Amino acid sequence: MISGKMSESLNKHMNFELQSAHLYLSMSSSANEMGLKGAANWFMVQYREEMIHFMKFYTYLVDQGTNITLLASKAVPNNYKSLLELMQKTLAHEQVITSCINELSEQAVKEKDHATQIFLQWFVTEQIEEENNDRDLLAKLKLVGDNGHGILMIDAEMAQRVFIVPPGSPLAV
């Protein structure tokens, strides 16, 4: 049993995770349009991970007896100029998500909601990894600048990313 306030906050964030999935799907298409198939793969994997995050929130809320509310999806941008811009926007987006997860965790602590605190722990750790991966790629992109060969090498690295369903996930997409 979670409070109405907690369930409302989690429901709101669940929609944010779905919005994140749409954002990365759009980024995958933009990377593909730039001729960067490896980056398109990387963002497609990111999209699938966000769908898992969305479903984790969905399942938790349903298991806690919440009738979830799906909000209408907002349009996401698709007018990126470079891979560098895509990664800058990605890191900025993940930093916002991290703040939201931290706020949810603070609310759960305040409400002495132990179940939600445990549920959110996975996301706290996940955000460290997400931001770290983005920072690594961003650092490499800054190093190569406009050098086409360097960008293609990073694209080849991004092609290696594989989607792995986290253990115990509610849905493989």
Nearer to ligand FEO, 64 or 122 (CB): 122
Q: How far is the CB of 166 from ligand FEO (least distance, A)?
A: 11
Nearer to ligand FEO, 56 or 151 (CB): 56
Distance CA 71, CA 63 (A): 20
134 contributes a contact to ligand FEO by CB under 6 A: no
Distance CA 12, CA 56 (A): 13
Q: In angstroms, how far is CA 37 from the centroid of its own chain?
A: 20
Q: How far is the CB of 148 from ligand FEO (least distance, A)?
A: 29
155 contributes a contact to ligand FEO by CB under 6 A: no
Q: In angstroms, how far is CA 39 from the centroid of its own chain?
A: 15
Closest C-alpha among 155, 150, 147, 140 to residue 32 = 155
20 contributes a contact to ligand FEO by CB under 6 A: yes
Q: Which residues bind ligand FEO (CB under 6 A)?
A: 17, 20, 50, 53, 94, 97, 130
